[in-house]
Amino acid sequence: MQSHNRIVVTGAGGFIGGHLVAEFRNQGYQHIRAVDEKPLDEWYQRFDDIENLSLNLNLKENCEVSAKGADEIYNLAANMGGMGFIEHNKALCMLSVLINTHMLQAALNHGCQKFFYSSSACVYNADKQKTFEAPSLKEEDAYPAMPEDGYGWEKLFSERMCRHFREDFGLYTRVARFHNVYGPWGTWFGGREKAPAAICRKVIEAKLQGTHEIEIWGSGDQTRSFMFADDCVKGIQLITNSQILEPINLGSTEAVSINQLVDIVEGIAGIKLKRKYNLNAPKGVNGRNSENTLIKKNLNWEPDTTLQSGLEKTYAWIYDQYLARERGEPGVVRERSVVQSA
């Protein structure tokens, strides 16, 4: 790691981007530029001792501003959310192709040394995800192409853009396919939250409101693996500084059904709820899990935070946020938006 390098993180006001900025800062990087479309007071994590820019990266000129002087760019900016958001905002998700295209061009224009792109397991062929048995998806399973409509197609296209900028122009690019990242300091209500945060919130609501009931999208038999944010941030840095040229899985292999996910959160909360299944709600593919042979071979590492451990931390954070919101405390999910000394 070269702590004197200028680091640029796009999507820095979001969940994973905020964690990545915090980690670079903890590692002693002195030149960090954090960029996000949201107003600064809406960022989940913001540190006032670094350069923070509120810019719409769909616009090419803003990408040029963001990339100027950058040694390393970590492009996490995208229009995305949980399955409910993805299924109802396909065009908005597709428009994220502008962000990565413009950021690649800007990185090339400004002589950036390293460019990381955050892709998604949503690029994988849907025909390989019809079983509930949590099929472990290998990197080559993205082709023949049949990704998640909208969001998945944008991610797959942007992966190819990274490849061709590397092959044609010599730009150093690395790509990781994220598998369901969760943890504190992220979206937990409002429609963009993902399954772990949504389940934590629903269990907290049922417990505090005394309803003792929870709605589950789909049959609850859908299977997924979930990666804790700390593992994601570590993986991003390892992959960026590796010799891995092609897109690679970054995810946990600890697959569970949604029903089992609820079981774990109920255990943390010390409650048992009646389950109502909404079979008409967005639910995504039936089964998906990360196959980690390549990442273990290349990095001698894979995400290893247990789901139980990660959910305990996530539940505790969301519980505090929920109570604070009920007390009417404004902006509580962004309570870390203050100057923090290194």
Contact status, residue 55 vs residue 106, Cβ threshold 8 Å: no
Determine the Cα–Cα distance for residues 300 and 306; give it in Å rounded to an integer: 18
What are the structure tokens assigned to 27, written together? 């590692």
Q: Residue 34, by phi and psi: left (phi above 0), alpha (psi -120 to 50) or beta?
A: beta
Q: Which amino acids are annotated catalytic?
A: 151
CA distances from 290 to 122, 183, 219 (A): 11, 18, 22
Residues 6+ positions from 162 with CB-CB distance below 8 Å: 100, 104, 115, 117, 173, 174, 175
Q: Is-contact 223 286, C-beta < 8 A?
A: yes
List the beta bridge partners of residue 34: 9, 52
The DSSP code sequence of 161-226 is: HHHHHHHHH---EEEEEE--EE-SSS--SSS---HHHHHHHHHHHHHHHT--EEEEES-S--EEE-
DSSP bridge partners of 249? 177
- Measured between alpha carbons, how far is 209 from 322 in angstroms, rounded to an integer? 12
d(CA 302, CA 297): 10
**Distance between CA atoms of residues 118 and 74, nearest Å:** 8
Query: Could you tell me the CA-to-CA distances from 148 to 127, 239, 288, 308, 324 in Å, in that order?
Result: 11, 24, 12, 28, 36
